[in-house]
């Protein structure tokens, strides 16, 4: 990754409005101490607290109130990060994926787009949906049918919005050049 186009603000320099912008991200269950904190991402978003608050409200649904399982959500997020080469997003979500029950081999397979036979039918369809949405902004009929056979209408919508929400984040991370935090370094992997 190149140099940051917008240098993340250190927490002591965040505008007062950033406190309200962070409120939606308070998890229902306290985070484990080993989960990365994402300070460079938050420090970049601190440059626009109104936008940060709106995005955090949206992403809080994707993280804490989604109808998808944590495993399903992390398959989607990791695949988006891999496709987009979003190293920051990838590193942040490898930790969450491992917490959600994915193995390191699963994570590697998601990154490389391989091993589709290792997944359940719905998991394979989720990965295909992420590929299709990022490439074409549309889930194919065959993938939709595979998902719809096992998922509710709410879950289907959460699939689309999870991919879209994390695709937008990947765009921002890549455009702005948000640098990896030190606590993300162990989870970074070469992408693309």
pLDDT score of 12 more than 70: yes
Name which residue leads in pLDDT, 141 or 182. Answer: 141
Q: Determine the CATH number of domain 11-187.
A: 1.20.1290.10
- Residue 139 CB neighbour total at 10 angstroms: 23
Output the pLDDT for position 110: 96
Per-residue pLDDT band for 3 (boundaries 50, 70, 90) equals: confident
Output the pLDDT for position 39: 87
pTM beyond 0.75, yes or no: yes
Exposure class string for 34-54: b at 16+ Cβ within 10 A, else e: eebebbbbbbbbbbbbeebbe
pLDDT score of 171 more than 90: yes
CA distances from 30 to 38, 97, 186 (A): 15, 17, 22
Which segment of 3-12, 152-161, 176-185 scores lowest on mean pLDDT? 176-185
Output the pLDDT for position 126: 98
Considering the chain, what is the average pLDDT of its residues? 91
Residue pLDDT, tens place only, 152-164 = 999 999 999 999 9
Output the pLDDT for position 97: 94
Output the pLDDT for position 183: 76
Q: What is the mean pLDDT of residues 144-156?
A: 98
Exposure class string for 94-106: b at 16+ Cβ within 10 A, else e: bbbbbebebeeeb
**So where are the chain's domains?**
11-187
Are 92 and 186 in contact, with CB atoms under 8 Å apart? no
The one-character DSSP state at 190 is -
Per-residue pLDDT band for 27 (boundaries 50, 70, 90) equals: confident
């Amino acid at each position: 990754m190149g140099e940051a186009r917008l240098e993340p603000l250190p927490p002591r320099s965040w505008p007062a409005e950033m406190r309200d912008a962070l409120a939606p991200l308070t998890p229902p269950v306290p985070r484990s101490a080993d989960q990365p904190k994402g300070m460079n991402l938050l420090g970049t978003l601190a440059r626009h607290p109104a936008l940060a608050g709106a995005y955090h409200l949206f992403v809080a649904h994707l993280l804490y109130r989604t109808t998808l399982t944590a495993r399903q959500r992390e398959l989607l997020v990791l695949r988006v990060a891999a496709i987009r080469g979003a190293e920051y997003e990838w590193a942040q979500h490898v930790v969450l994926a491992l917490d959600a029950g994915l193995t390191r081999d699963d994570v590697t397979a998601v990154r490389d787009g391989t091993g589709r036979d290792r997944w359940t039918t719905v998991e394979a369809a989720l990965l295909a949906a992420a590929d299709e949405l990022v490439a074409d902004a549309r889930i194919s009929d065959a993938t939709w049918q595979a998902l719809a056979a096992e998922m509710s209408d709410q879950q289907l919508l959460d699939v689309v919005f999870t991919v879209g929400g994390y695709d937008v984040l990947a765009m921002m991370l890549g455009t702005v050049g948000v640098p990896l935090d030190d606590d993300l370094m162990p989870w970074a992997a070469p992408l693309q």
